[in-house]
Structure 1
Amino acid sequence: MSKRPVSNPLALAVLSCLWERPMYPYEMTTSMRERGKEDSIRLNFGSLYSVIKSLEKNGLIAVAQTEREGNRPERVVYEITDAGRREADEWLRELIDTPAKEYPAIETGLSLMAMLPPATVVELLEKRVERLDAEIASRGKQLTGEAAAVPELFMVEFHYKTAMLVAERAHLGQLAERIRNRSIEGFEMWEQLHALLAQGLSMADINTMVSAGDFGQEVADLLGQ
């Protein structure tokens, strides 16, 4: 991925708003929320002002005018520059075209789950599946009423997120079942490790036993030795 002068995804959302027309910050926030962009872009007013200042500093947006109504504070209206249009175009093309390595929290949890006993992991996975089921059902309800009339073009990220949740739910549900029925490869050494820990042995004790050859290679592999 290319190095961006302003890399916060919120910056691209700001450029998108100003690509349509000049706006002041509160108007940008309102526009993003009305269009449900909070589902795919982390949005808060404090970050917005910081992003706007960074975009302005890098010449991607500029002050179009200032407005004042009565005794209200002055409002600054921003517009996108030619450089900002080029940046938004290149950035959006790259996001759609080029896969990027991301680090979802669930991946971290799964990569280290051997630290917990198998039964505990099953319980946690099943709780997560229940939460995913609730979220998927909630998203389904959101597609009723006025939302049902919104053209698909403006709901693409919503459907993408739903598809990812459905896929995660299916995968984790199957994983929980495979751990429960002991069919996941390496289950026996995982179970043995936690049986020893439950007996009061420390990881230092177990590592010493592995080094002495008291466990097979599979347990050593599990402990990274």
Structure 2
Amino acid sequence: MRKRKVSNPLALAVLSLLSERPMHPYEMSATLRERAKEESIKLNYGSLYSVVESLRRHGLIDVHETIREGRRPERTVYTITESGRYELVDWLSELLSMPVKEYTQFEAALSLMPVISPDDVRRLLETRCVRLDADIAAMGGVIDEMARRGMPYLWAIETDYVLVLRRAERQFVGNLIEKIKDGTLEGGDIWRLAHEDGELPSEEVWERATAHLRSVK
């Protein structure tokens, strides 16, 4: 993926909003929240102003007008530029077409999991399953309610995507729990021994495992 002048996903959301009509930052924030986009894009008002200024500095948006309503402070309304329209389409096209490596916190935790004993990990993962089940039920309910109200699926597509990921994660975690329970997790015997007897795997074992992982990536 090519390096972009502004790479914060919130900037992509701002460009998308301004492709509809000129807006001031408060209206951008309100519109994103009204459309529940904060569920998919990290949003806070301070960072929104920083993103807007960065987009303006790089010529992707420009000042449309400055307005004052009653005794309220002046508000700057922004509009997208031609360069911004090109950036919006190019950036979104890249994100939709190219899978990228994303470093999730759960993946990091899995990679360091052997620090904790197998039985403790199993209990923690069982707690995660309870929370995943609650998330899955809630998101499914949101999608069903939107359909009941006659809202198009397009409006719920990001929620459905996360729901699919949550269901896949729930299955993965459930399978991992069972493997820890029945002792069929490959390498689990070394893991358990390290915590029960304090006999850590030799450096040679770790080197072989690391070399194998690198060869298959």
Check whether TM > 0.5: yes
* Equivalent residue, structure 1, for 2:158: 157
Q: Specify the code of the residue in structure 2 equivalent to 1:100.
A: V
The normalised TM-score by structure 1 is 0.87
Q: Aligned in 2, Cα 1:77/1:36: closer, same or farther, shift over 3 Å?
A: same
Cα offsets for 1:73-99 (capped at 9, x unmatched): 101110000000000000000000001
Counterpart secondary structure, 2:197? helix
Q: Specify the code of the residue in structure 2 equivalent to 1:180.
A: K
- Provide structure 2 residue ranges, at least 5 long, that are not aligned to the other structure: 212-217
Matches within 5 A, 1:121-136: 121-136=121-136
- Provide structure 1 residue ranges, at least 5 long, that are not aligned to the other structure: 198-205, 212-216
Matches within 5 A, 1:3-82: 3-82=3-82
Q: Specify the code of the residue in structure 2 equivalent to 1:55.
A: L
Q: What is the deviation of 1:143?
A: 2.7
* Equivalent residue, structure 2, for 1:201: none
Q: Distance between the aligned counterparts of 2:17 and 2:128, measured in 1?
A: 35
* Equivalent residue, structure 1, for 2:215: none
Matches within 5 A, 1:135-146: 135-145=135-145
* Equivalent residue, structure 2, for 1:90: 90
Cα offsets for 1:129-181 (capped at 9, x unmatched): 11110111111222344564221112211110111011101111110111111
Counterpart secondary structure, 2:76? strand
Q: What is the identity percentage for the equivalent residue pairs of Structure 1 and Structure 2?
A: 48
Q: Specify the code of the residue in structure 1 equivalent to 2:194.
A: L
What is the count of residue pairs matched by the alignment?
A: 210
Is structure 2 residue 109 aligned with structure 1 residue 109?
yes
Q: Aligned in 2, Cα 1:101/1:220: closer, same or farther, shift over 3 Å?
A: closer
Q: Distance between the aligned counterparts of 2:36 and 2:53, measured in 1?
A: 24
Question: Does the CA contact (< 8 Å) of 2:143 and 2:156 recur in 1?
Answer: no
Counterpart secondary structure, 2:6? coil
Cα offsets for 1:92-130 (capped at 9, x unmatched): 000000011110000011111111110011011111111
Q: Distance between the aligned counterparts of 2:53 and 2:7, measured in 1?
A: 13
Q: Distance between the aligned counterparts of 1:108 and 1:219, measured in 2?
A: 18
Is structure 2 residue 195 aligned with structure 1 residue 194?
yes
Q: Specify the code of the residue in structure 1 equivalent to 2:88.
A: A
Q: Aligned in 2, Cα 1:98/1:134: closer, same or farther, shift over 3 Å?
A: same
Q: Distance between the aligned counterparts of 2:210 and 2:152, measured in 1?
A: 52
Q: Distance between the aligned counterparts of 1:32 and 1:51, measured in 2?
A: 14
Question: What's the Cα RMSD here?
Answer: 2.0
Q: What is the deviation of 1:38?
A: 1.0
The normalised TM-score by structure 2 is 0.90
Q: Distance between the aligned counterparts of 1:163 and 1:144, measured in 2?
A: 15
4+ residue runs over 6 A deviation: none
